[in-house]
Structure 1
């Protein structure tokens, strides 16, 4: 929200007061407590009568993180909800003084407050450099008024603040010269957020606007720090848009809380942020294979599904998961968890047949209940639905007739909801697509008394958490998987998330990637999208290009709306392309397993923006049509019908994994690619473990693997140690390979001498003896 009218004046309709002078700074048990007055106090005690006065509290929840709480009126009732954070109550900190100013230090991060009597300022420093900070007219309280007022006033009286119709707390943190801002969750517009207004409000709105399914009030910059605003409600950001040199954030109320997170590298910021808000768990190997759905509004029954599954098998296209979308349910009965018996005669038997064919089964669900279903009456009688103030259930015709929403703040409602999921699991269902969750109303009453405005975004956390934890309880740790659309802070703990409803066009494919890269910049590690696009018919050309992109994403699902996404519905070449890239992804499972470990143990995403992987390369700062898949693979999808791609490679000799051609960077490259290829470039000195004949996701990921060494001259003299995993499970054994150059030879040594493997440099293959191998460069 914008509060200013140009640089000097306050926007009409608001009155304002700002923290102008530091009045006092004192140490408290958990850090520092600062009083900042809105007026100047220079020895005149009469100037201390009235206010406003701001209380600023500094503490540390973890090493390298500083928490800032800014309050106007303290002690206001807070009914929640609150993001669930991993706070170390005993995190060490230091208080220091310099030149009259006082600071709090946590690790290498410092927050320094100006001396009492000076103009108020708060600066954040790390590594001897100032990262960002605020000063006079940064921290402020704004009263939204319904009457005219004097726009030339520089501050307001306390009576005016309390008499305002609404109050907002606002903060502004400085941006440096050439500083770029990234993050804020799933955003489909420009990847660099400078110049944008970013609203934290989940919405069921598709992928082609500034509305999103996944809002995350967190950003990081290329200057080596991040900022997390700890409010689940509708935080509004002005990113160099209201004041060009500042990031502004504001929310309703009298209190504003944010965390400054140190780097120095962007990955370090994400490590600290995800340690605070939670990390993605390990996922089972089958989740990384190809998912096929029935599509959304297409008519389908047992015969349709069997035709899809058998058609993939007959064309030698490995399939891992089959997903039943909405119409497994009876019309007007969504979502009461009952199969449509007219279309599906023996769900238990059919699911068993899918399992016999090596498939996992996913079914679509949402947290809403149609009043047509008998289950609605059960929910009303049990008190399991969100209520209006008069106690009656909230209802809308938005999605289903007389639809109610499950109240996940009610423990009994959560248990009841999971009991319905349990019946599906008893039938053999393996996972759930947790659709929707973005439309929680704001004029309702929750079981636990939560503020309904704050619950609007937080509802999805409770919804996905409920389903994920129940799956984990039933199936065991490391086996639970969701395919979720909506999210907020902490939602990365309940993967996988997909990008939502996009059009079938090249532009929509690019905007989907921007949304995914923005989400991966915000603490999420896994991401998928609707291959072929959701709305419309992609046609053979776009379908094949989207298949390439989709099978080089962390998770891969064929899905559409009114048209199916089986490849033979387009042309036979589509089958060839899908087969090639599905098998390519399966061959890369050993490589992806290492990347998945980084997601779960470090909070570093498997699919990475170039700015995250190459933060010191100026050319990488704006790139949003290419990305890194893990440490070493650069992917540049084809976004044009003529097959032309313009992409950038950083420094060194990069090798196209599919063609063997090399490019020496830093360099922009333009090339044309057929449907069987695209820029899949390997980093210089990379060691990629593959299993070239793999057709499923089962078994040991390293036995009979090939270690491919690319541009071995880029290996340091001491070589490099590559840690690989024999599976995707959390406790999967790790194996170390040490790879080095010795003259014109590359040598590799394996820590497990019993393992069967091959060493390769280009076409040359090395012979393994007692865990050692060598090959001529």
Structure 2
């Protein structure tokens, strides 16, 4: 049976009222079968353009009204920012610097421009409706030669061009949750306002981007900016972003995972061993392992292994370590609460009304139906009872795979965001919204309002290829509005000391990371791990600033090279390296032999560890020592660090006549200080604001010809010159 598709190609009606532009379109039938008559007009489509805020255009295309769309992620206010210009040839809908132009004659198209420059347009088959056999309504956008697209949530690759994707998370691994948002290298983004099934085709068979939403209506938002990060800022501003960033690990965060064999005594023994090895532990994550082994999905501590949970928690806190647990929406059929859930109808059921059960090695478990308000409240109280004991950190641990496939896609996709919100609310009540830190294993559309999307792989696989996939996945989530991520080093990697080391080095250069227990016992690897911790510690103030930027503006902490160097065509080919913020380039080693190849963009870059300089653009291929991860600082950058009460501003390759700047944030994440450095001929001016008269230190990397300073004494070595000062301005004279 061939599917029939109708395309809206002819404009026959234009109306404007209340800052909203309405278009009536005549649809033309086309069939996939060459034996079926095509080309006849049949049906109408209504397309409306509105703007809930400046710089954002909402487009709704509807074949027929069948009631309110229950799959919408957000509801927006009536159009208040739209301006409509209507003349005899065209009609233009404007919102801020963004505009949509429709010619009144010829084939129907919408041309999208930003700051007067066209950035995309709907294609020949602009809007369509089809049955395949279920109804879908969609839109097609032209794609330009060399254009790249990023986003859609988790993905094993960065650029989406040539791929087909669907936002049905039931069909995806938990590591690759999809969201209906993408951003183009041409400076625009599209968010489809649906938690239902949305199909994307990024020019896999044609020169266009096709988007199809399940049902008789599609609603999407178009946004634009000078850079992809500006587009993401608009997107996260629309859907929300978390404004609190807590628990950036200065030491190591260790993760026991869902291990039910460890005990109160064995954990304290592991911490003693780590201390003897010179490893500083800052966070301890128990997973769900604090529960009983035969009831591993429940809400009660295992009395056999943890007879006094309060005492255990105090022991951990006495060591200066934060304690985290995983919370799940699952419940074992051997727990006392199971009967209560059955009697109150709190459990997810299949289409025949039977409780949905999943079997595992010690019994069966069900899923709390958190879209039922009473069940949701009940689960929140259970979580409160756990967190109130003194828990500091939380992992929202939910995997889509256990939900029944006959549930509507909107139910399945909405489950994760609802669960994450329950956990966030409980953490805010019990820990404090200014102190809680939440890692989320699954997400869905509109679920960007909490940090630390978890980046992990299947626990049974660990290789350099999966490590590279994890990097691409983290980058893809970042370009989808999840600006801050956590990376878990897989426990199976411990069996290969070299792989473990390379993965740990990479994870240390993420916003947050967790290492598995037990540690790799190889002595050389342990020394390398300590060095990676020292590197992270030196960059922690910089990473924290990047996290605050992500929380404030949505800009991802880790970014594809092409995003930072959009005019550099070679950067589009860089799949195995990334930018940490705007100033640090990370080139992970994906080889047991240490072979690494990476691209250096234009300018003079500085190796963070050796202070060696490299001039780009060029491609470098070399062998990296096991203790080294290639880490380069962008020209005209400032990297801040803290040592006790002294703050250090390390300046790299200062550019003539261009200000280098950095912000330093305090514990409350408010701006606590700003530093600006300007080089003009033989004079360098350092200005600071917000640090009071505390001790400050400026390091001029690669500059040794200092002949005069307005304060302090220059201390030069082979790497550069260091000057301590306390005033708000320092003048440096070069010889």
Same-fold status (TM-score > 0.5): yes
Question: Residue 290 of structure 2 contacts residue 306 of structure 2 at CA under 8 Å; is this kept in 1?
Answer: yes
Which residue of structure 2 aligns with residue 643 of structure 1? 594
2:679 is aligned with 1:741: yes
* 8 A contact 2:453–2:484 mirrored in 1: yes
Aligned residue among 161, 169, 179 for 1:194: 161
CA separation of 1:739 and 1:407: change in aligned 2, threshold 3 A = same
Cα distance in 2 for partners of 1:50, 1:747 equals 71
Q: Aligned runs of 1:718-733 on 2, under 5 Å?
A: 719-727=659-667, 729-730=668-669, 732-733=670-671
Equivalent in the alignment of 1:151 = none
Q: Report the counterpart of residue 578 of structure 1 in structure 2.
A: 529
1:473 to 429, 439, 445: 429
Q: 2:408 aligns with which of 438, 443, 452?
A: 452
**Residues 395, 480 of structure 1: CA spacing in aligned structure 2 closer, same or farther, 3 A cutoff?**
same
Matches within 5 A, 1:508-657: 508-531=466-489, 533-535=490-492, 537-559=494-516, 564-568=517-521, 571-657=522-608
Q: Deviations over 1:484-517 (max 9, x none)?
A: 1110122221221112334211011000001010
**For the residues of structure 1 that align with 2:579 and 2:300, how far apart are their CA atoms?**
42
Checking the alignment, whether the CA contact within 8 Å between 1:181 and 1:194 is kept in structure 2 is yes
Name the SS for the 1:660 alignment partner: coil
Query: Quick one: distance in 2 between partners of 1:251 and 1:332?
Result: 43
**In the TM superposition, what whole-angstrom CA distance separates every residue of 1:124-144 from its partner, at most 9, and x where no partner exists?**
122333222224433111123
**1:345 alignment partner in structure 2:** 307
Spell out, residue by residue over 1:691-714, the C-alpha distance to the aligned partner (whole angstroms, 9 max, x if none).
2x57xxxxxxxx3111111112x1
Which SS does the other structure have where 1:583 is aligned? helix
The answer to whether the Cα contact below 8 Å between 2:27 and 2:43 also exists between their aligned partners in 1 is yes
Correspondence 1:768 to 2:722? no
Contact map agreement 2:325 2:395 (CA 8 A) in 1: yes
66-75 vs 473-482, greater mean Cα deviation? 473-482
The structure with the largest strand share of the pair is 2
CA distance in 1, matches of 2:297, 2:697: 51
SS at match of 1:501: coil
Q: Number of residue pairs matched? A: 703
Quick check: 458-467 or 616-625, which moved more?
A: 616-625
Would you say 1:675 and 2:612 are equivalent positions? no
Q: Give the direction of change, closer, same or farther, for the CA distance of 1:767–1:402 in structure 2 (3 Å limit).
A: closer
Distance 1:579 1:103, change over 3 A: same
Q: Distance in 1 between matches of 2:594 and 2:345?
A: 56
- Structure 1 residue 254 corresponds to structure 2 residue 216: yes
User: For residues 473 and 287 of structure 1, do their structure 2 counterparts lie closer, same or farther at Cα, with a shift above 3 Å needed?
Assistant: farther
What's the offset of the Cα at 1:774? 5.0
Query: 1:435 aligned to 2:375?
Result: no
Per-residue Cα deviation, 1:307-346 (whole angstroms, up to 9, x for no partner): 2222222222222110112332222423212122222232
- Distance in 1, Cα, partners of 2:226 & 2:676: 28
Match of 1:132 in 2: 120
**How far off its partner does 1:400 sit?**
7.5
Which of these residues, 486, 499, 502, is aligned with residue 455 of structure 2?
Answer: 499
Q: Against the structure 1 CA distance between its residues 565 and 638, is the aligned structure 2 distance closer, same or farther, given a 3 Å change threshold?
A: farther
CA distance in 2, matches of 1:707, 1:403: 54
Higher deviation after alignment, 348-357 or 408-417: 408-417
2:244·2:551 contact (CA, 8 Å) conserved in 1?
yes
Counterpart in the other structure of 2:63: 72
* Contact 2:545 2:665 (C-alpha < 8 Å) held by counterparts: yes
Task: State the SS of the aligned residue for 2:391.
Answer: coil
Per the TM alignment, residue 297 of structure 1 is displaced from its structure 2 partner at its CA by: 4.5
**Where do 4+ consecutive residues of structure 1 move more than 6 Å?**
none
SS of the residue 1:139 aligns to: strand
Cα distance in 1 for partners of 2:363, 2:83 equals: 59
Instruction: Tell whether the 8 Å contact from 1:36 to 1:54 is kept in structure 2 after alignment.
Output: yes
Query: Residues 46-125 of structure 1 correspond to what in structure 2 (within 5 A)?
Result: 51-78=42-69, 80-84=70-74, 87=76, 89=78, 91-98=80-87, 100-115=89-104, 118-125=106-113
Which residue of 188, 195, 209 maps to 1:225? 188
**d(CA) in 1 for partners of 2:624 and 2:159?**
28
Q: For 1:61, what is the secondary structure of its paired residue?
A: coil
SS in 2 for 1:316: coil
- Whole-Å separation in 1 of the counterparts to 2:681 and 2:90: 58
Alignment of 1:139-288 (within 5 A): 139-144=127-132, 166-188=134-156, 190-203=157-170, 206=173, 212-243=175-206, 245-287=207-249
Structure 2 unaligned segments of length 5 or more: list them: 30-39, 702-719
CA RMSD of aligned residues (A): 2.4
Displacement of 1:723 = 2.3
How far the C-alpha of 1:734 sits from its partner, in A, is: 2.0
Secondary structure at the aligned position of 1:53 is classed as: strand
Counterpart secondary structure, 1:138: strand
Secondary structure of the residue that 2:615 maps to in structure 1? Answer: strand
**Tell me, which stretches of 5 or more residues in structure 1 are unaligned?**
1-11, 41-48, 145-164, 445-450, 695-702
Instruction: Report SS of the residue matched to 1:658.
Output: coil
User: Residue 757 in 1 paired to residue 702 in 2?
Assistant: no
Q: State the TM-score, normalized to the length of structure 1.
A: 0.86
Query: Bigger CA drift: 451-460 or 251-260?
Result: 451-460
Higher relative contact order (CA 8 A, sep 6+): 1
CA distance in 2, matches of 1:565, 1:744: 54
- With 320-329 and 291-300 compared, the bigger mean Cα shift is at 291-300
Q: CA deviation at 1:39?
A: 4.4
Report the Cα distance in structure 2 between the residues aligned to 1:737 and 1:342, rounded to whole angstroms: 55
Structure 1 residue 415 corresponds to structure 2 residue 382: no
Contact 1:213 1:485 in 2 (8 A): no
How far 1:391 sits from its partner (Å)?
5.3
1:133-159 deviation line (CA, Å, top 9, x unaligned): 224433111123xxxxxxxxxxxxxxx
Asked if 2 retains the 8 angstrom alpha-carbon contact of 1:366 and 1:437, the reply is no
TM-superposed CA distance for 1:171, in Å, is: 1.8
Find the aligned partners of 1:82 and 1:92 in 2 and give their Cα distance: 21
Q: Residue 196 and residue 619 in structure 1: after superposition, are their counterparts in 2 closer, same or farther (change >3 A)?
A: same
| Separation (CA, whole Å) in 2 of partners of 1:367 and 1:91 | 40
CA distance in 2, matches of 1:547, 1:204: 30
- Is residue 2:392 matched to residue 1:403? no
Higher mean Cα deviation, 757-766 or 375-384? 375-384
What SS class does the counterpart of residue 516 from structure 1 fall into? helix
Aligned to 1:44: none
